[in-house]
Amino acid sequence: MRRNPLFLTVLLALALVWAGCSSGPPSLSISAKNGRNGLALDAANTVELTAVIKGVEVNPDEIVWSVSDPLLAEITGSGRSVTVTGLKAGEVVVSAVYGDLEDAYKLYIFDTKPVKEVFREDFEGFDAGTPSAKAGYSFSGNTVIAAGEGGQGEKALKLTKTGENAQLRVEFGQALTKGSVSMLVKKPNGTGSFNVSLVGADQRAGFQMTNNNGLRYRTTEGTVSGDTQLGTVDTNNWLRLEIVFDNDAGTYSFYQGEGNGRVLVGGPVPYSRGAEGITGVEIQHAGNEGQVILVDDIAVVDLAAQGIVF
């Protein structure tokens, strides 16, 4: 039987509509231009958000946008795309609603764009010998800059235990709530105890290496764990050790190695978190008289800024 051309056209149109509807349930998702989710008030403090709606006919005028805290951010425009302007530092959630469909998008607003690596010291900028005064640094005991012994470059920090502990204390210049503190360490067996502590914690927190390089952590009460809880690390040669902390949660973990060789040593374990965050690091040779421990390439990363696109 011969079909009417008009009937075939209508049938084809219905088939296309059915195919489009069967591609999945109706959905709404918010996307940001260039994948941005961070705003800095001292730079580009606006971002364009778009509501992507699938599976239903859309009247753009009926898309409702809102922000969780109007004191931190405001929305201008309407329809499928709007502009969000940061007003004050903090975290906000921008929502889009269309009928029964909705989605939310989190934005992080900063006074100034955070620097993800907030501190790095390889001691190459110091003259060899007794360290000269430098803002944010505090040296004590037999602490010198040694040439020809660097793990990263030519120079390194050389800590020799005498009657006084050899120590370096560094302030980051800002408080970190989530971060990583790592350094290259060369600590031969038999040198005694070596302590790395987070400055800003309510009580001493960090790790301790024993005479035979057993790695211990300090608990929330400031006491020290047993060697068996973390094991022993080989720092007779240069090795990168790292503390990753979350001051909001009050926990931290330890890693050794770098790149593909980076592995978890222990944690997370609790500590008494600081009121503002972690503000620095203290490195101390409190071991055996006359013994030497070397430290190089101290790196501090703000993990709260990781994954934020500006």
pLDDT tier at 22 (50, 70, 90 boundaries)? very low
Write out pLDDT tens, residues 36-50: 999 999 887 999 999
Last residue of a domain, one of 71, 88, 110: 110
**96 and 144 co-located in one domain:** no
pLDDT tier at 23 (50, 70, 90 boundaries)? low
pLDDT given at position 28: 98
Residue 310 lies in a domain: no
**162 and 245 co-located in one domain:** yes
Residue 47 lies in a domain: yes
Average the pLDDT over each of 6-10, 31-35, 150-154 and give the range with the smallest value.
Answer: 6-10
Residue 134 lies in a domain: yes
The C-alpha angle 202, 233, 180, rounded to 5 degrees, equals: 40
Question: Would you call 235 exposed, middle or buried from its count of C-beta atoms within 10 A (0-12, 13-18, 19+)?
Answer: buried
Q: What is the mean pLDDT of the chain?
A: 88
Last residue of a domain, one of 110, 140, 170: 110
Write out pLDDT tens, residues 239-261: 999 999 999 999 999 999 999 99
Q: What is the pTM of this model?
A: 0.71
Given a contact cutoff of 8 angstroms between Cβ atoms, the answer to whether 74 and 49 are in contact is: no
**136 and 226 co-located in one domain:** yes
CATH number of the structural domain spanning residue 94: 2.60.40.1080
Residue 27 lies in a domain: yes
Residue matched to tokens 């929502």:
95
**58 and 189 co-located in one domain:** no
CA pair distance 96, 251, nearest whole angstrom: 35
CA pair distance 45, 40, nearest whole angstrom: 5
**177 and 249 co-located in one domain:** yes
**167 and 221 co-located in one domain:** yes
CATH number of the structural domain spanning residue 167: 2.60.120.200
Domain count, the chain: 2
Integer CA distances (angstroms), 230 to 31, 120, 238, 244, in order:
43, 27, 19, 15
Given a contact cutoff of 8 angstroms between Cβ atoms, the answer to whether 257 and 239 are in contact is: yes
Given a contact cutoff of 8 angstroms between Cβ atoms, the answer to whether 180 and 196 are in contact is: no
**106 and 243 co-located in one domain:** no
Last residue of a domain, one of 79, 94, 110: 110
What is the arithmetic mean of pLDDT over 63-86?
97
**169 and 105 co-located in one domain:** no
**217 and 138 co-located in one domain:** yes
Write out pLDDT tens, residues 94-112: 999 999 999 999 999 988 8
What is the arithmetic mean of pLDDT over 203-229?
76
**147 and 274 co-located in one domain:** yes
**229 and 146 co-located in one domain:** yes
19: domain range?
Answer: 5-110
pLDDT given at position 220: 55
pLDDT tier at 153 (50, 70, 90 boundaries)? very high
Given a contact cutoff of 8 angstroms between Cβ atoms, the answer to whether 5 and 32 are in contact is: no
pLDDT given at position 214: 86
**59 and 127 co-located in one domain:** no
pLDDT given at position 216: 85
Residue 193 lies in a domain: yes
What is the arithmetic mean of pLDDT over 213-222?
73
